[in-house]
Amino acid sequence: MAKKSLKPKEEEASIDMTPMLDIVFIMLIFFIVTTSFVKEAGVDIVEPKAKSAEKKPKANIFIGINSNSEIYMLKKKINKEDVRTTVEGMLLENPESTIVIQADVSAKSGILLDVMDAAKAAGVKNISVAAEN
What letter represents residue 26's amino acid?
A: I
The structural architecture, per CATH, of the domain 38-129 is: 2-Layer Sandwich (3.30)
How far apart, in whole angstroms, are the C-alpha atoms of residue 63 and residue 114? 12
List the domain boundaries for the chain: 38-129
The pair phi, psi for residue 72, each rounded to 5°, is -125, 135
Residues near 100 by beta carbon (within 8 Å), at least 6 away in sequence: 56, 59, 61, 62, 63, 127, 128, 129, 130
pLDDT at residue 28, rounded to an integer: 92
Is the per-residue pLDDT at 11 higher than 80? no
Are 30 and 59 contacting, i.e. CB atoms less than 8 angstroms apart? no
Q: pTM of whole model > 0.85? A: no
The 10s digit of each residue's pLDDT in 15-34 is 888 888 999 999 999 888 87
| Average pLDDT value over all residues in the chain | 81
The 10s digit of each residue's pLDDT in 63-108 is 999 888 899 988 899 998 999 999 998 888 888 888 888 888 888 8
pLDDT at residue 18, rounded to an integer: 84
